[in-house]
Amino acid sequence: MVKWFKPLTGWVKLNANESSTSNPSLVGGEGIYRGDKGDFIFGYYIGYGMAFNTRAEIRAIYDGLHICFTKGLYNVVIESDSQLVINFLSGTSVSGWKWKYYLDRIKHICINGQVKFDHILREGNGSVDGMARLGSGSQNSAQIVVMANLPSMVKGSSTR
């Protein structure tokens, strides 16, 4: 059984994901932030236009981390179901030039806080998967989601 775990006291957890229908296609990124009690803080989704899914996953993590820091959240655990991207970010795999720009931006922004990157199986990332089509179907500006306007298919899995 795959289970989502709360972050340590004083930390937030960002579950980030990309959405796409094929590769390449219209893609988007989404994320859900939860506090150290497992409580839903807020979410986001953003469209990126035509791209490959790996690039969208990296962008979703970058945008999510940027949002964290602008809101004063500096201790962040980022979970993604892309083992490839987590390997890039944790330095266990060398990335290609196609993704270098945003990977470098993520590493640069991480200097401002404490950030940990973890892989989570898709089944454990279900709450953000529920928002998947919002990102790829949206425009290029980030949309912040609060509990009141959280999609009903996400509410049950994001509040545990």
pTM over 0.85: no
Answer with the residue of higher pLDDT: 79 or 133.
79
Q: Which domains does the chain have, with CATH numbers?
A: 12-158 (3.30.420.10)
SS3 45: strand
- Cβ–Cβ under 8 Å, residues 99 and 59: no
Mean of the per-residue pLDDT values of the chain = 82
The backbone torsions φ and ψ at residue 135, rounded to the nearest 5 degrees and listed phi first, read -65, -50
How confident is residue 2, by pLDDT bands cut at 50, 70 and 90?
confident
Give per-residue pLDDT as tens, 105-147.
999 999 989 999 999 887 666 666 666 666 656 666 667 666 5
Predicted local distance difference test score (pLDDT) of residue 130: 62
Output the DSSP codes for 87-120: HHHHTSSPPPHHHHHHHHHHHHHHTTSEEEEEE-
Inter-CA distances, 98 with 30, 88, 104, Å = 21, 12, 12
The neighbour count for residue 79, using CB atoms within 10 Å, is 25
